[in-house]
Amino acid sequence: MENLKIHCFPDKILRQKTEKVTRIDNTVRELSEKMLEIMKEASGIGLASNQVGKLLRVAVIGNLPDILDEPLILINPEINDFEDWTTQDEGCLSFPGVSTAVRRRVKVYATFWNLKEEEMKIEARGILARAIQHELDHLDGILFPDHLSFLSRQLLLQKYRRRKKKAPSF
Ligand code: ZN
């Protein structure tokens, strides 16, 4: 597999919906391996395939040592049920340098395939539930500023654009 890198907003691929994985083959295995590496390198908590330029329904979650012994590889994940609401600060590897409070469900019940094509169930709360919702959004082309009010979204995007401009360009 070619070298993958994180695509940042406003890259159009972040708005594309990913396609369901029909079977676990080497492409899916290699992609999830690469995504784990990239997530680790970037010190992120989660990463979805369209963030690295691929359009398969694959996401990874990790770097949560108190909650997960091993990173999660989520293939064809779906949220089946949820409970309550909470608002917490949240950022995204595709929006480096900015974060804001986002309203999400406190608890989610999700299903997904693991790499053995076994159907897995997970009951998650707190930051893990938040990560699952954030990554599933990505897989459907939804980005975290979409959850904000018009004004908060404008402020966040303004901050993001200003921040990008400060970086040296070559
Ligand atoms: Zn993200």
Spacing, Cα 48 to ligand 1 middle (Å): 7
Report the pLDDT value the prediction gives residue 74, as an integer from 0 to 100.
98
Report the pLDDT value the prediction gives residue 169, as an integer from 0 to 100.
67
Please provide the DSSP assignment of 122-154 as one string.
EEEEHHHHHHHHHHHHHHTT--GGGGS-HHHHH
Distances in whole angstroms, Cα of residue 129 to Cα of each of 39, 67, 103, 126:
18, 11, 12, 5
Which band of pLDDT confidence, cut at 50, 70 and 90, is reported for residue 76? very high
Per-chain mean pLDDT for the chain: 96
Report the pLDDT value the prediction gives residue 167, as an integer from 0 to 100.
66
Distances in whole angstroms, Cα of residue 10 to Cα of each of 13, 72, 74, 96:
9, 27, 25, 12
Spacing, Cα 139 to ligand 1 middle (Å): 10
13-28 pLDDT tens trace? 999 999 999 999 999 9
Report the pLDDT value the prediction gives residue 170, as an integer from 0 to 100.
74
32-53 pLDDT tens trace? 999 999 999 999 999 999 999 9
Neighbours of ion ligand 1 (CB under 5 A): 92
**Encoded amino acid at 66, one letter:** D
Rounded to an integer, the average pLDDT of 146-155 is 97
Q: Is the pLDDT of residue 97 over 90?
A: yes
CA distance 108 to 61: 15
